[in-house]
Amino acid sequence: MAVYVDAAIWKWVGHRWCHLLADDTDELHRFAAQLGIKRSSYQGPPKTSAPHYDITGFERDRAVRLGAIECSREEIVAVFRRVRVPKGKIRP
């Protein structure tokens, strides 16, 4: 199983952010814990259809050193589609 990160390009609250995704939700949580990311930062159904964490560029650098696969925008979208939970997002 693999863990993936895209480029840290989204600016918010003074940081650049990116997405951390994995082929398996348990693997995603284990990897996030290795990075020191709190489980309360997890984003998944019903808030969003793809289980993921938003992480800072600093956390991204550490994730890559721990083995996360760097992805382009197109590649991370493909991962997002592969791991998403059908009808997992509640629409307003």
88 lies in a domain? no
27 lies in a domain? yes
- Give residue 72's pLDDT band: very low, low, confident or very high (50, 70, 90): very high
- Give the model confidence (pLDDT) of 5-53 as tens digits: 998 777 877 888 999 999 999 999 999 999 999 999 999 888 888 899 9
pLDDT value for 34: 96
33 lies in a domain? yes
Domain count, the chain: 1
Instruction: Tell me the whole-structure pTM to 2 decimals.
Output: 0.86
91 lies in a domain? no
Query: In terms of residue numbers, what domain contains 50?
Result: 3-83
Peptide bond into 46 cis (omega under 30): yes
22 lies in a domain? yes
Distances (CA, A) of 40 to 5, 34, 36, 74, 79: 19, 15, 12, 27, 22
Token digits of residue 60: 């991204």
89 lies in a domain? no
Beta bridge partners of 4: 21, 69
